[in-house]
């Protein structure tokens, strides 16, 4: 769980509402925020919150805030294993909360309102049913693909190569720390392999580059845990050199 903290800060000439996001745990979060009910436009896109971090979202002069302010959010949660759940919704802020719900926060060293943000659990076991389904019903799926045009088109158009370089996954890589980047890469890998397994693709290439080998190891470790994987190769390739892993399915 993470928390939205709102501090009323009284300055000499002006009063501000400061919006913070607190992450006391070991997950990393990718966030979109929009503050409603203000004169100016306050929004954040592809905003990342690391482990045990507390960051300032917005600082808004109180005279910019209208009668019914609220915060819209869409937040994805990641661990070293990849995507772990999401939360989206709207938090309504009432002026009376600064009287009724005010409490002290050690993280910002001030009194504030605290709004918890809870997460739906990710379907962590999804890979296993998919693996079993493909292993036991491969012939049936093959027959169905012959008569279902959309599956045939998906199979034909499916890119057999996934490039996991972070600049291929997000608009501005400079905003992302290495831990968040790895989690996003693993989530992209998970979704891609699920699709490949569903479509019955025979083999794919995962481009990870050379670097320190951390991403390559993560790709290998993830693929080894899938029952439908027949072989994992990291041999020289004319196009990718040694910077890609080939995954062959059963």
- Which of helix, strand or coil describes residue 133? helix
Q: How far apart are CA 4 and CA 238, in angstroms?
A: 50
Tell me the pLDDT band of 162, cut-offs 50, 70 and 90.
Answer: very high
Q: How far apart are CA 84 and CA 78, in angstroms?
A: 5
Tokens 């997460």, residue? 119
Residue ranges covered by each domain of the chain: 2-121, 124-249
Higher pLDDT, residue 184 or 147 = 184
**Does residue 180 register a pLDDT over 90?**
no
Fold of domain 124-249:
Ribosomal Protein S8; Chain: A, domain 1 (3.30.1370)
**Among the CATH numbers 3.30.470.20, 3.30.430.20, 2.60.40.1600, 3.40.50.620, which is that of 2-121?**
2.60.40.1600
With beta carbons less than 8 A apart as the criterion, state whether 223 and 217 touch: no
Instruction: Specify the pLDDT at position 136.
Output: 46
With beta carbons less than 8 A apart as the criterion, state whether 233 and 245 touch: yes
Percent of the chain with pLDDT over 70: 85
For residue 241, give the DSSP letter.
B
Q: How far apart are CA 65 and CA 76, in angstroms?
A: 28
Domains 2-121 and 124-249 fall in the same CATH topology: no
Instruction: Specify the pLDDT at position 141.
Output: 52
Tell me the pLDDT band of 211, cut-offs 50, 70 and 90.
Answer: confident
Give mean pLDDT, residues 230-249: 90
Instruction: Give how far Cα 77 sits from Cα of 30, 86, 223, 226, Å.
Output: 7, 6, 21, 22
Helix residue spans in 200-245 (DSSP H): 214-224
Instruction: Specify the pLDDT at position 143.
Output: 45
Give me the count of residues in the chain. 250
Instruction: Specify the pLDDT at position 123.
Output: 45
Give mean pLDDT, residues 52-61: 90
Tell me the pLDDT band of 146, cut-offs 50, 70 and 90.
Answer: very low
Output the average pLDDT for the chain. 82
Instruction: Specify the pLDDT at position 200.
Output: 84
**Does residue 144 register a pLDDT over 60?**
no
- Which of helix, strand or coil describes residue 146? helix
Tell me the pLDDT band of 138, cut-offs 50, 70 and 90.
Answer: low
* DSSP E strand boundaries for the chain: 2-10, 15-23, 28-38, 42-49, 53-61, 65-79, 82-92, 103-105, 110-117, 120-121, 161-163, 203-207, 229-233, 244-249
Q: How far apart are CA 57 and CA 5, in angstroms?
A: 10
């Amino acid at each position: 769980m993470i928390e939205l903290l709102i501090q009323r800060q009284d300055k000499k000439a002006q009063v501000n509402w400061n919006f913070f996001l607190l992450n006391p745990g070991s997950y990393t979060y990718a966030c979109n925020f929009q503050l409603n009910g203000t004169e100016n436009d306050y929004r954040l896109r592809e905003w990342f919150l690391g482990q045990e971090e507390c960051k300032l979202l917005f600082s808004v002069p109180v005279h910019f805030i209208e009668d019914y302010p609220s915060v819209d959010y869409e937040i994805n949660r990641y661990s070293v294993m990849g995507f772990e759940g999401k939360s989206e919704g709207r938090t309504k802020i009432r002026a009376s909360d600064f009287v009724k719900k005010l409490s002290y926060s050690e993280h910002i060293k001030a009194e504030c309102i605290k709004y918890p943000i809870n997460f739906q659990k990710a379907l962590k076991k999804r890979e296993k049913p998919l693996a079993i389904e493909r292993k036991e019903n491969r012939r049936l799926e093959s027959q169905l693909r012959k008569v279902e045009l959309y599956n045939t088109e998906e199979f034909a158009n499916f890119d057999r190569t996934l490039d996991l370089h972070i600049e291929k996954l997000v608009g501005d890589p400079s905003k992302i720390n290495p831990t968040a980047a790895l989690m996003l890469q693993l989530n992209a890998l998970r979704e891609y392999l699920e699709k490949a397994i569903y479509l019955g693709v025979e083999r794919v290439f995962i481009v990870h580059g050379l670097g320190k080998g951390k991403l390559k190891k993560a790709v290998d470790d993830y693929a080894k845990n899938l029952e439908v994987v027949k072989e994992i190769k990291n041999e020289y390739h004319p196009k990718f050199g040694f910077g890609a892993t080939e995954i062959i399915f059963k």
